[in-house]
Amino acid sequence: MVLSLNQKYALINHFGEFISEKRLELLKHVLSYRTRYATVVLEDIYQSQNASAVLRTCDCFGLQDVHVIENTNRFSVNPKVVMGASKWLTVSKYCQAENNTVTAIKALKEKGYRILATSPHTYVTTLQEFDLAKGKFALLFGTELTGLSQDALDHADEHMVIPTYGFSESLNISVSAALCLQNLTERLHSSSIDYKLTGDEYADLLLEWLRKSIKSWRSIEKRFLSQV
């Protein structure tokens, strides 16, 4: 059943009777900072600790969507590291095509995202110089050993580097993601950019999160919708 925006909020108010006011306020507070203006794309990450740490970082800094490319490595998470963060994220996997990297990038571009490749080898901009105002963007992070594939680099719209000054060539992927997201989301929050969710997106996610918070949500929802 497709619900109108008014029906969604009516159901949200009804669900609110089955959880504590404090819990409901927490869900709304977190959602008020959620964004789809920025998203993260992970290409062939094979260490579950890194995958889990990046998911946790995305949740911490308010990114709702994570896109996972599986070409040769299967994406898996470590429950002890992710600490339940993946429960609140929308994770999309690309694993069916011959070249999942190209498929994922094409799909994101069709949704209006600029593709921003993070790489220590090729760059047009630095993390600090990246222009947030040009439009929403997808940050690409590559596999632990070799970084982004040539396909990812070739199909990216822009390339970005995190400046470093030591002997090590690059940062661990989970550290890179944390540095990038902390910098970019802080700048986003202090800007005039409309980075927040639309009304429908907000309502849809709040409903999804309420369902995850209420054990018998199916019967409650069915009973409510039969009466409206």
Note down pLDDT in tens along the chain; length 228 residues.
788 999 999 999 999 999 999 999 999 999 999 999 999 999 998 888 888 999 999 999 999 999 999 998 888 877 777 778 889 999 999 998 788 999 999 999 999 999 999 987 766 899 999 999 999 999 999 987 788 999 999 999 999 998 888 988 788 999 999 999 999 999 999 999 999 999 999 999 999 999 999 999 999 999 999 887
- Reported as type and span, the H/E element at residue 9 is helix 5-15
CA–CA separation, 36 and 138 (whole Å): 9
Give helix then strand counts, H and E, for the chain: 9, 7
Q: Which amino acid is at 165?
A: Y
Alpha helices (runs of H) in 70-226, residue ranges in sequence order: 79-82, 100-110, 150-155, 173-189, 199-213, 217-225
Spatial contact of 159 and 153, defined as CB atoms under 8 Å apart = yes
Phi, psi of 49 (to 5 degrees): -65, -40
The pLDDT, as a whole number, for residue 124 is: 81
Angle between helices 5-15 and 199-213 (to 10 degrees): 30
Alpha helices (runs of H) in 21-172, residue ranges in sequence order: 21-31, 48-60, 79-82, 100-110, 150-155
The pLDDT, as a whole number, for residue 130 is: 95
The pLDDT, as a whole number, for residue 77 is: 78
CA–CA separation, 57 and 82 (whole Å): 9
CA–CA separation, 35 and 175 (whole Å): 21
The pLDDT, as a whole number, for residue 121 is: 72
Q: Which amino acid is at 45?
A: I
Residues 6+ apart with CB under 8 A from 196: 32, 33, 34, 35, 202
The pLDDT, as a whole number, for residue 97 is: 76
Phi, psi of 189 (to 5 degrees): -65, -30
Residue with tokens 């789809």: 36
The pLDDT, as a whole number, for residue 119 is: 83
Instruction: Please work out, in degrees rounded to the nearest 5, the angle formed at the alpha carbon of residue 205 by the alpha carbons of 203 and 208.
Output: 110
- Full-prediction pTM beyond 0.85? yes
| Architecture category of domain 36-210 in CATH | 3-Layer(aba) Sandwich (3.40)
Q: Which residues, listed in sequence order, are joined to residue 69 by a DSSP beta bridge? A: 43, 94
